[in-house]
């Protein structure tokens, strides 16, 4: 993906943009996270949206794909990030 303004890249290749910074502690692998999400392909095709399903989801962080595990661990409660997850971090 081309570098866009405000997008940061981790050593693993995950790219993210902070839309809103939250407060508090960052989640750990064993924590259950409560998240709203929108999954889109890089060309904008909507794959899934938690709001269409009616509510945020709560899920153990360790059960998420590697890119989400890494990205969500960067976030504090109340944060809103856009994660650009490369294929190698999207599947096990």
Q: What pLDDT digit, counting tens, does each position of 2-18 carry?
A: 567 899 999 999 999 99
Amino acid 92: pLDDT: 61
The two tokens of residue 54 are 């009616």
Amino acid 46: pLDDT: 92
**1, part of any domain:** no
For residue 80, the domain's CATH number is 3.10.50.40
**26, part of any domain:** yes
Alpha carbon distance 34, 20 (integer Å)? 16
Spell out, as residue ranges, where the chain has pLDDT lower than 50: none
Alpha carbon distance 79, 23 (integer Å)? 8
Amino acid 30: pLDDT: 94
Alpha carbon distance 80, 56 (integer Å)? 13
Amino acid 21: pLDDT: 95
Q: Supply the range of the domain harboring residue 33.
A: 7-89
Query: What is the count of structural domains for the chain?
Result: 1
């Amino acid at each position: 993906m081309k570098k866009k303004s405000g997008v940061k890249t981790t050593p693993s290749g995950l790219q993210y943009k902070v839309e809103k910074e939250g407060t508090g502690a960052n989640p750990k692998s064993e924590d259950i996270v409560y998240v709203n999400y929108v999954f889109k392909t890089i060309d904008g095709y909507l794959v899934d949206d938690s709001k269409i399903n009616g509510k945020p989801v709560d899920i153990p962080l360790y059960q998420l794909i590697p890119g989400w595990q890494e990205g969500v661990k960067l976030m504090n409660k109340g944060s809103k990030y856009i994660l650009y997850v490369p294929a190698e971090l999207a599947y096990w």
